Amino acid sequence: MIPEYGDADVLAVEDVDDPVPGPDEIVVAVRSTALNRADLLQRMGLYPDPSGRTPEIPGLEYAGVVSAVGTRVHAWREGDKVMGIESGGCHAELVATHGRQAMRVPDGVPLADAGAIPEVFVTAWDALVRQGGLTAGRWALVHAGASGVGTAAIQLAKAMGAHIAVTCSSGKADRCRELGADLVLERSPAAWRDALRDAVPDGVDVVLDVVGGDEIERNLHVVRTEGRIIQVGVMGGGAASVNAGLLLAKRVHWIGTTLRSRPLESKIAVSQQFQREVAPWFSDGTLVPVIDRRLALDDVVEGHRVMESNANVGKIVLDVA
């Protein structure tokens, strides 16, 4: 939990009251969860949980077993294996969630791994496909290709027959290639833009950007006319100089998006569509969560420090049970 805002040392593991399901909710005994950039920002007081729940417990995703069911819930029973996204509260032994927002853990996926799926795969799929319109044969550019969202995006693009270019640090390039990236570009401001334009002269169809900052201007140069830029994060800064003339001339759709602040019904719709259209790819091995390391919940401070240093490739999983 977050008793006060600050660096990683403020985090504490403490006992709190068990959640009680509302009529439309289930309570999940969490087996695994994972860290996301939003958890770091929340810890610093920069990205509060919109639910306003207290005590303030971070954590945007979970996988576990249903332990209690609300009176109006008929889709789930105690003992069912579920996973899902939440606005917070998942770095805990128990979490309450709306019954229609929960997703069934795909067959063949261990609960210990499933906690690394929901946030990054739903984010990448929602950005690239639902909002970005990526289809077979088209090109995507994804920044931070070795991040949780990046490793998910590479796999999703290849699964649907699309082409994907990613930017990443040089030490993580080989892992991105192993996952299937068609073009891996070192994130050097002087290099990647021209290299991508040489490789894809007509421009990419969709950009998934979690970085922001100086990359915003370069995105406009590499996206095709009437292409889409989906702004998912601003790790590199939220303010940038933008060539508005280029934005207008290319008729670019620049879309800002987050999962966390969406209304409940929107999250339910995304989760249910993901369950139908994407989750089966985990059962046949087409998609796999990329796990950098596993830590016990008690070691969450270490996990925050690893993520802050950008040392991880893929997900940092927290084993709860």
The answer to whether residue 1 sits within a structural domain is no
When pLDDT is averaged across residues 15-38 and rounded to a whole number, the result is 97
Q: Could you give the CA distance from residue 2 to residue 38 in angstroms, rounded to a whole number?
A: 13
pLDDT digits (tens, 9 = 90+) for 57-97: 999 999 999 999 999 999 999 999 999 999 999 999 999 99
**CATH number, position 206:** 3.40.50.720
Share of the chain above pLDDT 90, in %: 92
Domains in the chain: how many in total?
Answer: 2
Query: Is a pLDDT exceeding 80 seen at residue 129?
Result: yes
**Model pLDDT, residue 43:** 97
User: Is residue 217 located within the same domain as residue 284?
Assistant: no
Can you say how many angstroms the Cα of residue 213 is from the centroid of all Cα atoms in its chain? 19
Q: Could you give the CA distance from residue 112 to residue 32 in angstroms, rounded to a whole number?
A: 5
Q: Are 304 and 8 in contact (CB under 8 A)?
A: yes
User: Is residue 231 located within the same domain as residue 272?
Assistant: no
- Half-sphere CA count of 52, side-chain side, radius 13 A: 0
User: Is residue 251 located within the same domain as residue 302?
Assistant: no
Residue numbers of the domain that contains 210: 120-256
Burial 139-172 (b: 16+ CB within 10 A, else e): bbbbbbbbbbbbbbbbbbbbebebbbbbbbeeeb
Q: What is the 3-state secondary structure (H, E, C) of 85-144?
A: ECCCCCCCCEEEEECCCCEECCCCCCHHHHCCCHHHHHHHHHHHHHHCCCCCCCEEEECC
Q: Are 52 and 88 in contact (CB under 8 A)?
A: no
**Model pLDDT, residue 189:** 64
Q: Could you give the CA distance from residue 115 to residue 318 in angstroms, rounded to a whole number?
A: 8
Instruction: Please give the structure tokens belonging to residue 211.
Output: 């970085």
pLDDT digits (tens, 9 = 90+) for 157-214: 999 999 999 999 989 999 999 999 999 999 876 689 999 999 999 999 999 999 999 8
Q: Are 176 and 147 in contact (CB under 8 A)?
A: no
End residue of a domain, out of 256, 278, 307 = 256
pLDDT digits (tens, 9 = 90+) for 244-283: 999 999 999 999 999 999 999 999 999 999 999 999 999 9
**Model pLDDT, residue 62:** 98
User: Is residue 269 located within the same domain as residue 250?
Assistant: no
Share of the chain above pLDDT 70, in %: 99
Query: Is a pLDDT exceeding 80 seen at residue 303?
Result: yes
**Model pLDDT, residue 240:** 82
The answer to whether residue 138 sits within a structural domain is yes
End residue of a domain, out of 256, 286, 308 = 256
CA-only gyration radius of the chain, Å = 19
**Please, which residues have CB within 8 angstroms of residue 226's CB and are 6 or more apart in sequence?**
250, 251, 252, 253
Q: How many CB atoms lie within 10 A of CB 308?
A: 12
- Half-sphere CA count of 282, side-chain side, radius 13 A: 27
Per-residue DSSP letter, 9:
G
* Average model confidence (pLDDT) across the chain: 96
What type of residue is 127?
A
CA-nearest of 174, 171, 178 to 155 is: 178
End residue of a domain, out of 256, 275, 304 = 256
Burial 76-89 (b: 16+ CB within 10 A, else e): beeebbbbbbbbbb
Q: Are 129 and 161 in contact (CB under 8 A)?
A: no
User: Is residue 38 located within the same domain as residue 81?
Assistant: yes
pLDDT digits (tens, 9 = 90+) for 145-171: 999 999 999 999 999 999 999 999 989
**Model pLDDT, residue 53:** 86
Q: Is the pTM of this model over 0.75?
A: yes
